[in-house]
Chain A
Amino acid sequence: MLKNRIIPCLDVKNGRVVKGINFVELKDAGDPVEQAKIYSNGGADEICFLDITASNENRDTIIDIVRKTAKECFVPLTVGGGVRTIQNITDLLLAGADKVSINTAAVKNVEFVKEASKKFGSQCIVVAIDAKKVSENKWEVFTHGGRNKTGIDAVEFAKQIEFNGAGEILLTSMDKDGTKSGYDVDLLKEITRSTNIPVIASGGVGTLDHLYDGIVKGGASAVLAASIFHYGEYKIKEAKEYLNSKNVSVRL
């Protein structure tokens, strides 16, 4: 039976982890490679890096981090943030990323998803959708961390990127992100019902029950979380044991 995945996400800025875990065993709490290793050894099913580096000059730092991480972590590695061109994808994959997550570039030009999945295969193309609720059962795609409204319906967009060859959807609720009040389960339900590719739930996790809700109520194939793991509130293993105790199948 296919297991539900738990994916810790690390925000990386100028080569350093932002809001990183502070475990005693860490030599350097800001080092993304060290943190990825801890997650991987702790049973993470995948690792996700989100590059939030603002300036272009420092963007190569993520390549270097991916290269180092890929030599030490042997679970899938997804990298997102600033993936705009075929060359960006080539660079990340050559450095050792297994998947890339495309956000703004996919919204700007949905053909880019087609081009990327044709060139590299659907298996490594994740499209990240940032959605915000605009009315009852209606969500809109936003870009730039939820600042820019696009007028695009999130459900329609999800169907479109599936059609264009995306292998997975990384769905973040901009209403819930950072609130620790749980995923937007209605949004998840709507997107998982409307598409036939796996959906990774993101945005809003504060408790282990939220992970359960994302999978069982929202229909997500994987759950992504940042802060509950970073701050050491829960270890990946605890999350998995909890889900397992509630009959959600996970890789233990």
Chain B
Amino acid sequence: MKKLFFSQKAAPYIFVLPFVLTVLLFWLGPIFNGVLLSFQDVKQQTFVGLKNYSRILTDAIFFKAVLNSVKYTVFTLILLIPFPLLFASFLNSKLMKKPGIFKSIYFLPALTSVVVAGTVFRLMFGESDQSLMNQLIGLFGNSPIKWLRNGDTAFFALLLLCCWRWTGVNILYFLAGIQSIPSDLYEAAEIDGASGLQQFFSITVPLVKPTTVYVLTISIYAGLSMFLESFMLWKGNNSPNNIGLTIVGYLYRQGIEKQAMGYACAVGITLLIIVMVINMIQLKATGTFSKEAE
């Protein structure tokens, strides 16, 4: 016993044991159970075979939810990777005075709760002509818009909320990446007469690639699993014409609101597969796997 306890070989396993147990208990267990439930009608306590999955294929609302989530993810990637990278390199520039203040200001929104932020945004984008956004466009002579009842404007509100909240966090990631780039590279480039723009595209962008890959991966996952923002913006899970419905929102509606747990599990498993496939493709394309193999 004592031998085992002080054994150098066993030590690593003992140290990783809590993590392995957590994964088994709280991750693999529920997933396995979820797969099992996805073949059942939970309320009637019967197995229904592939019925839940065949229903997904003919469910227009499910496809609408997938489309919304994918559209949201794509736009967040377009907005939340290049711009934070650019801002981070500005903040890192020697010409920038007091970058600390800007870093804190950018980061502040990430500290607020989505619930609070979502509620404030809902009020900002209210339908009445006294809401902030309607007053703002009123300054330019436009008549009030029903922001959250119209597909495009609602999407704008969702993206604005997302950018407002996550730009600062991504800036911090990129800043850490940029600061790990040796400064002699920039000095050498400067001596060779490279402009700031050339330095950015030829040194900064390629060398922060590991950070970009990381941000890309978590952004894809975060985009596809977005739920709370939409839930708060529409004060519930039911947006007009389902313009704010996401895959997770649909899962919640079916499983929790309609108590169709089996169908919800089928939706969840589908989401898992979609996210896995996308992430695999993306990791492969960015060469993360091959690097490990070297």
Partners in one complex: no
